[in-house]
A and B are shown apart, each in its own frame.
Chain A
Amino acid sequence: MSEKVWNKPTPEHVRKGEREVFERTVLPYVNAAYNLARWLTRREEDAEDIVQESLLRAMRSFGTFIPGRDARAWLLAIVRNCCRTRLRRKGLEEPADQLDETVPATGLWSNPETVLIENINSQLVRRAVEELPLEYREVLVLRELEELSYKEIAQILDIPLGTVMSRLSRGRRELHGRLCNVIQEGRK
């Protein structure tokens, strides 16, 4: 943290300082923000709007950001909330109770068929993930692409750690099962 920013308390310097600190700590995660928004909304234009909105919101509430904490997780939580709001407004949000978290995860583990890994390509995976319920998509993107820990994911999604674990495991098995089906369909 550069000290010269804080040593000159004239308004211009302070203003400049805040912008500078914001740019240094939050702006590097524009890609992460866009990627999450893109996966959650599934549309380029929506993702762009959401990233703009989220960064403005982040800038406005930057005073509540605690220096030293993970700016990426902080920004992603804002992005995720913006996505939720937009999907709800558009009437696109699936109700959360659609997922029965008590039903044991099925999928490849219990499926004796072995999917041929060579048949998996990014287009298949992309389509299959896009078709997953929102709750699975968000944990999968945060874990597989952002490589966040369960604890960080729990904080971003504001759900218990155990729910992260079960959703991720269910989401992966659901995804594996769907991929398996698609590939088998394709072979017939």
Chain B
Amino acid sequence: MSCDRIQDSLDAYLDRELDVLSARDFERHLNDCDACRVAFERYRDLQASVKTQLPYFQAPESLVRKIRTQLGSSERRGEPSTIAWRAWAVAASLVICLAFGTLLFRSALRPSSTELIADQVVSSHIRSLMANHLVDVPSSDQHTVKPWFNGKLDFAPPIRDLSPEGFPLIGGRLDYVDARAVAALVYKRRQHPINLFLWPASDVDSKPSALVIRGYHVIHGIQSHTAYWAISDLNADELKQFVQDFFYQSRERSDRSADYTTRTTVHSNFIAAKRGNAHNHGSQSPQMPVRPLIRESRLPLPAPCAA
């Protein structure tokens, strides 16, 4: 890769939009060319600083209320026949997608309790955002949130202060998943809330799996007899970072990272799409990069359903 090409693909590299080979070429050039490396670092730092200083405008409460009222009245005004037809069109396309999905993946993936839980977790997450009921106990202090769950749950959820890692605690909430009361911890990264659902698990530890459901990134697994589901509209890498910081923080750096399997759901059917990190086969080496300055490769995020 030439110096000109570096300048051209700089943004795509920073945004992890370069394919793996080009990203590797890019990094190789930076290692060999001092001028490009210095310029790259300056650009990257400036870009990061601009990005964090760019304000995100929140919709005013009054506007959200107005919209709800408006939607309610427009619904009443609408003609039942057209609305019914439209709703059926949605239902029909859903059925077609489901049928198609089942046909394709039936043999490989039977509906599992994981799927059902995934759907509930996503619904709970959305509900918590919509109803403006993100937390029952708003506090950034784990020593306030932890005792709040006493008597409400039959277990004591682990809570961590991740503000040094850039994930401040917003609070806790009692929620229900899989017909049981669970702890929902809410953290935030910039304007993105993260819901972390926790409950005790009798199963052995299982490695974290990453999913994308209805546009949300979800990571779940079992760690130290705690089943966890983390969900957010945050990007996949930062959500992984969050899970890693929460569960694998205290470990040695060498095995801090968890081995990831990435799966995608399309209309609640799971498509197995194991990450093809060939160089990691047979070794214990981590697949999840630990906040690298230069990222190794971009995560192969699944494309949204193009049906």
Contact = CB atoms under 8 A, between A and B. Distances in A.
Q: Are A and B associated in one complex?
A: yes
Contacts of B215: 70-73
19 contacts: A19-B71, A30-B59, A30-B63, A31-B58, A31-B191, A55-B71, A62-B86, A63-B85, A67-B90, A67-B267, A68-B267, A70-B215, A70-B304, A125-B53, A145-B56, A149-B17, A149-B301, A169-B11, A172-B50
B47 interface: yes
Interface in A52-70: 52, 55-56, 59-60, 62-63, 65-70
Interface of B: 7-8, 10-12, 15, 17, 39, 42-43, 45-47, 49-51, 53-60, 63-64, 66-68, 70-72, 74-75, 78, 80, 83-91, 93-94, 97, 119, 123, 126-127, 129-130, 191, 214-215, 233-235, 266-268, 301, 303-305, 307
Given A56-B74, A68-B94, A150-B12, 16 more contacts: A6-B94, A9-B84, A11-B80, A18-B86, A27-B67, A28-B129, A33-B59, A34-B58, A109-B39, A120-B49, A121-B53, A125-B54, A144-B51, A147-B234, A152-B304, A172-B50
B304 A69 contact: yes
A159 B60 CA distance: 31
A179 interface: yes
A104 to B, nearest CB: 9
Given A23-B71, A68-B266, A151-B303, A34 B123 contact: no
B53 A122 contact: yes
Nearest to B190: A145
Contacts of A102: none
A-B CB proximity, top 4 nearest = A63-B86, A34-B59, A169-B11, A38-B57
Interface residues of A, number: 70
Nearest to B123: A24
A69 B123 CA distance: 16
Interface string A1-44: 10000100101001101110111110110110111001100000
Given A14-B87, A70-B304, A176-B46, A52 B70 contact: yes
Contacts of B80: 11, 15
Given A68-B305, A144-B54, A175-B50, A165 B11 contact: yes
A167 to B, nearest CB: 10
B54 A122 contact: yes
A67 B123 contact: no
Contacts of B71: 19, 22-23, 55-56, 59
A176 B56 CA distance: 19
A51 B17 CA distance: 30
B87 A17 contact: yes
A168 interface: yes
A93 B179 CA distance: 53
A125 B48 CA distance: 12
A115 interface: yes
